[in-house]
Each structure stands twice: as structure tokens, then as C-alpha cells.
Amino acid sequence: MDGLTAGVSATRDQVPDFERQAAALFNAEAPSLLHLARFYVEDKTAAEDLVQEAFIRLSRNMARVRDPARGAAYLRSIVINLARDHNRRGLVSLHHRPPPADDEPSAEEAVLGRSARQEVVDALRGLPGRQRECLTLRYYYDMSPADIADGLGMSVNSVKTHLQRGLRALSLALRENP
């Protein structure tokens, strides 16, 4: 990632500034990161844990963030990677745990129509990982293919291919489940 450097260390005078940056990022990004995590995990508590862990990891490495505007992209990347790991571990223990409790819908979900939204989320969860990642970053975060490519470490053409295939698969899945 070009917004990060590996060898930069913070001086003691910079630490409070980094703490302020992390707090500002939390206030601005936590709700949208929670929504992003929910595209990948069914359990709301697990999604909250993923977001919390992302902020912990960011705070440990805040001195490495050269451009504060890249902090949100860095957090999204961390959440996606943590969700991948969570789902890999979850596949092993899926049959040994009780189903997650139903979450209380937020006011936003009630307004948007929970069932229609749930169909889209279920269809997204059924897509291959890269397609799901590209679609959520493109249409939920309104990121350009170039920004997605930069954040996921892919070429722009690969992002475009995943977007095209993901949209086609999503369209088919939603048509099959009216």
C-alpha cells in the first residue's frame, strides 16, 4: 500500500496526534465498518468484534500511516481480512456451535425493508470472496475500481472482471429468489 511505510516510527510528541486521528476515524468510520463486516458475517457480535480488532490493529500501526486520509481505506482492508479469517475458522466449527441469535433491526433496516435487504446480503454472501469484496467496496463505499485495486492489492482489470462477474451472479441469484 503506497499510503503506508514500514520503517517510520513516531516520536513521543506525535503519539497524542495519532490517538486523536484514531479517535476521529472511529467516530467517522465505525458505523460503516460494522455494516461492511455484516456483509461477511451473520453474527452482529462477531461483526462488532471484527471492527474493534481492526481499530486495535490500526492504533498499533498508526505511526505507519503517512496520509491520514488513507486511514479509512486501511481500516476497510483490515476488516475484510479479519472477516476472511473469521469465516475460514468458522467453517471448521460451523457444525459445533448454536445458530446466532436474531439481531434487533435498526431503524435504518426497518425503513429500507429488512426482507429485501436480507435477500441482497444473502446473495452477496453466496458470491466468491473477491467478487463480494469488489462489489461491497464499489457500491457500498462508492470506491472507484482504481481505489479498490489499490486497497486489495489487485490490478484494475481484475477488479473490473470481479465486478462484472459479481453483478451477473448477484442478478441471477436475486432473480431466482423473488
pLDDT for residue 56 is more than 90: no
Does one domain contain both 15 and 97?
A: yes
Name the band, by pLDDT with cuts 50, 70 and 90, for residue 166.
very high
Distance CA 177, CA 140 (A): 22
Instruction: Name the least confident of 40-49, 65-74, 84-93, 157-166.
Output: 84-93
Please give the residue range of the domain that contains residue 57. 11-101
Distance CA 57, CA 82 (A): 11
Does one domain contain both 24 and 43?
A: yes
Distance CA 72, CA 99 (A): 32
Please check whether residue 5 lies inside any domain of the structure. no
Instruction: Name the least confident of 21-30, 44-53, 144-153.
Output: 21-30
DSSP letter (8 states) at residue 77: H
**Domain stops at, among 51, 67, 101:** 101
H-only helix segments in 39-155: 44-60, 71-93, 107-112, 114-125, 129-135, 145-152
Name the band, by pLDDT with cuts 50, 70 and 90, for residue 26.
confident
Which grid coordinates belong to 102?
A: 436474531
Please check whether residue 4 lies inside any domain of the structure. no
For residue range 64-113, list pLDDT tens digits in order. 777 767 778 888 888 988 988 888 776 444 444 555 556 665 555 565 56
Does one domain contain both 162 and 94?
A: no
Q: What's the predicted TM-score (pTM) here?
A: 0.51
**64 vs 122, higher pLDDT:** 122
pLDDT for residue 18 is more than 50: yes
Q: How many domains does the chain have?
A: 2
**137 vs 64, higher pLDDT:** 137
pLDDT for residue 44 is more than 50: yes
